[in-house]
Amino acid sequence: MSEANEPAAPRGERIAKWLARAGVASRRDAEKLLTEGRVRINNAVITHPASFVQPGDLVTVNKKLVDPPARTRVWRYHKPDGLVTTHRDPEDRPTVFSKLPPELPRVVSVGRLDLASEGLLLLTNDGGVARALELPSTGWIRRYRVRVRGHVDPAALASLAAGVVVEGTRYGPIEAGLDSRKGENAWLTVALREGRNREIRRVMNHLGLEVSRLIRIAYGPFLLATLPRGMVEEIPAKILREQLPGDAGDGGSAPKRQKR
C-alpha cells in the first residue's frame, strides 16, 4: 500500500480537554495555562489549544508531571454552610476542598454553592464532565429547600415560572411553591435549570423576602437524601454510566435530559 493510501495516525486528544479530564483545571483555565507557556508535552512548550496528546506522551504543568486522566468519577457531598466553593480563597476562609477526606483524588465542583448555602454539591475528577453538567442546555433541574422571612405571595411565586428581571438581569423560569408557613417564616421549594450566582437570594429579595437558609436537595437525578453533613459518597459507576451515556470520560458527552 502506498503512503498516500495509508490511514492517518490518530491525532490523540486536545491538550486543554486532556488537562480538564485530568482534573488540572477547567478547559478555559487550561487554555490560559497554555497561553502563559506553563504546559509542556514531551518537554516542548505548548501554547496552542489545538495541540494533541497521544498515549504515552509526558505532560507537565509548571514543570510537574501530570498523570493521565483516570476514569470519570463523581461524588455527592453534603456541603455545610460556612465554606466557600473554591480551591483557594483570598480572604483565607475555610473551603470545601480543604475539608474533603485526604484519600480523595483532586476534584472540581459541578457548579457552586455560596458561603451561606448548604446541601448537595457534586464533585468530579473530570473537569470536562463538570463543565457539561453545569450547562443549562443539559436540562438538569436544581432543587432547593428555602427558608424565607416575610410575607409570601403565592401568586408572585407562580409568576416566576415566566422568568423575571432583577436589577437589569434576566433570570429564566423558576418553579417556586409554598410548603409551610409559621409566623413570619416560611419554607419554599424552588427549582431552576441555570443557577446563576446568588440567583435565588436575589430573586427572593426582589419579592420582598429575606432568605435565611438555602439547602440544595437535588442536582439533576442525584439527591442529597440522607447523606450526613460534611460527608462524601461516590456515585456508583453503573448509575453514572446511565446518566452519562457514551464515553463518560470524554468530557463532551451530554447527560440525559431530565424529564420534568
CATH top-level class of 3-65: alpha beta
The secondary element (H helix, E strand) that includes residue 45 is: strand 44-45
67 catalytically annotated: no
* Residue whose cell numbers read 458527552: 253
Q: 141-219 domain in CATH 3.30.2350.10? A: yes
Report pTM: 0.76
pLDDT digit string (tens) for 155-202? 999 999 999 999 999 999 999 999 999 999 999 999 999 888 899 999
DSSP 129: H
Beta bridge partners of 191: 143, 175
Phi, psi at 74, each rounded to 5° = -135, 140
Predicted pLDDT of residue 89: 87
CATH number assigned to the domain covering 74-137+221-250: 3.30.70.580
Q: Show me where the domains of the chain are located.
A: 3-65, 74-137+221-250, 141-219
pLDDT digit string (tens) for 222-233? 999 999 999 999
Q: What's the mean per-residue pLDDT of the chain?
A: 88
Q: Which of 67, 114, 126, 179 is catalytic?
A: 114
DSSP 23: T
